[in-house]
Amino acid sequence: MTKLLLLPGDGIGPEVSAVSRRILDVLAIPGLEVTEALFGGASIDRHGVPLADDVLAQALASDAVLMGAVGGPQWAAVAYDKRPEAGLLKLRAAMNVYANLRPARCFAALADASSLKRELVEGLDILFVRELVGGVYFGEPRGIERLPNGERRGFNTQSYTTHEIRRVATTAFELARGRGRKVCSVEKANVMESGVLWREEVQKLRDESYPDIELSHMYADNCAMQLVKAPLQFDIILTDNLFGDLLSDLAAMSTGSLGMLPSAAIGVAGTPGLYEPIHGSAPDIAGKGFANPCASILSLAMALRHSLGAPQAADRVEAAVEAALDAGARTRDLGGMLGTAEMGEAILAKLAG
């Protein structure tokens, strides 16, 4: 018996999640129980909080959680710690999913949709390993205070411990063994002590336990430049929570569309994983029926592979997405005309055939 919890969330989240649910129905994985719950703004509207206690308990008792997206302008005025995004951070922290895998892969059929020239992105396959439950997103102290001179001061703390760095680096090195055996570790050791520690600990771990992996170090600003200039040089990029947020969006766009890219957040082996599209809730196109469901579907594939013990089903789903794209299926973000459900049907047809 395995359990998958769907948290469709807000904006385009429910539309794209509905397509993944269809795919799950067709796959009919034996022993897989699928449930759905409110999360984010949708939960605020009903319960006043973005993540209700019983939903958190359900998530922790699942094997995998598949999220849609959270947030939207209607909750922008809600107190900071009650916003949809706060619910997401609480969920990530409670699940302790410290390693966020964000593949930026350029599908051959989409190389021309990239904002970069085809020859720069053709064959692109970068895996970001982003630290997800530490750093400046969670560091204390944090807040906004009033100074004696009447000015206000906003502050956050960037902090990483040896243990936090080593566990996520271990995930990156282990994954590197199944890929190109190359890791580029990214920080700002030139200006930040947390970056100095990051660099030292990652290098130490490599020297101790992963001598077969080629490790390089890069400053985050240079990495941003290199991702636009020569992205094919990268295999795995290991980085912290904030830089990983920025750099993964940057690389995602160069693959053609944010609407294509999935992510997996995993922690200690045997604990549930959290799977989500990289894209946000896209309130501007929500409810119009043309959001790209591929990122959700590919996130489902990652859940099948990493948490639900169904790697063959994962391969089938990924192959069906690729085959549908090769056959010309396109949502609007990819320059086509298909609606969300139609794109889902095109993928389902490949899954069946």
Tokens encoding 135 = 């750093």
Taking residue 21's Cβ as centre, other Cβ atoms within 10 Å add up to 20
Instruction: Verify binding: residue 201, Mg ion, rule CB under 5 A.
Output: no
Catalytic residue among 137, 160, 210, 275: 137
Q: Which of 245, 315, 234, 238 is nearest to 279 (CA)?
A: 245
C-alpha pair distances (Å), 265 with each of 103, 171, 274, 309, 338: 12, 11, 5, 16, 30
Q: State which residue, 63 or 245, has the beta carbon closest to ligand IPM.
A: 245
Residue 276 binds to Mg ion (criterion: CB under 5 A)? no
Helices (runs of H) and strands (runs of E) counted in the chain? 12, 12
CB-based contact 134:99 (threshold 8 Å): no
Q: Residue 190, exposed/middle/buried by CB under 10 A (0-12, 13-18, 19+)?
A: exposed
- Among 36, 85, 342, 345, which residue sits at the site for ligand IPM (rule: CB under 6 A)? 85
Closer to Mg ion by CB, 248 or 331: give it: 248
**Among residues 193 and 221, whose Cβ is nearest to Mg ion?**
221
Size of the site for Mg ion (CB under 5 A): 1
Q: With CB cut-offs between 5 and 8 Å by kind, which of Mg ion, ligand IPM, none does residue 88 bind? A: ligand IPM
Q: Residue 80 — φ and ψ, nearest 5°?
A: -50, -45
Cis, bond preceding 141 (omega within 30 deg of 0): yes
188 is catalytic: yes
DSSP 187-225: E-TTT-HHHHHHHHHHHHHHHHH-TTSEEEEEEHHHHHH
Residue closer to Mg ion, measured from CB, 107 or 243 = 243
Q: Does 245 bind Mg ion (CB under 5 A)?
A: yes
- Angle at CA of residue 292, ends 38 and 95, nearest 5°: 40
CB of 256 to ligand IPM, least distance (A): 18
Q: Is 187 in the site for ligand IPM (CB under 6 A)?
A: no
Q: Is 98 a catalytic residue?
A: no
Is residue 88 within the footprint of ligand IPM (CB under 6 A)? Answer: yes
Asked whether the beta carbons of 100 and 309 are under 8 A apart, the reply is: no
85 binds, among ligand IPM, Mg ion, none (CB under 5 to 8 A by kind): ligand IPM
Residues between 59 and 78 with contacts to ligand IPM, criterion CB under 6 A: 71
Query: Could you say which of 245, 275, 333, 350 is catalytic?
Result: 245
Which pairing describes strands 273-275 and 264-266: parallel, antiparallel, or unpaired? Answer: antiparallel
250 binds ligand IPM, rule: CB under 6 A: no
What is the rounded CA–CA span in Å between residue 95 and residue 99?
11
By CB under 6 A, is residue 5 in contact with ligand IPM?
no
Does 261 interact with ligand IPM (rule: CB under 6 A)? Answer: no
288 in active site: no
Q: Exactly one of 245, 318, 322, 333 binds ligand IPM (CB under 6 A); which one?
A: 245
Q: Is 321 in the site for ligand IPM (CB under 6 A)?
A: no
Residues that bind ligand IPM (CB under 6 A): 71, 85, 88, 245
Give the binding site for Mg ion (CB under 5 A): 245
* Catalytic center residues: 137, 188, 221, 245, 249
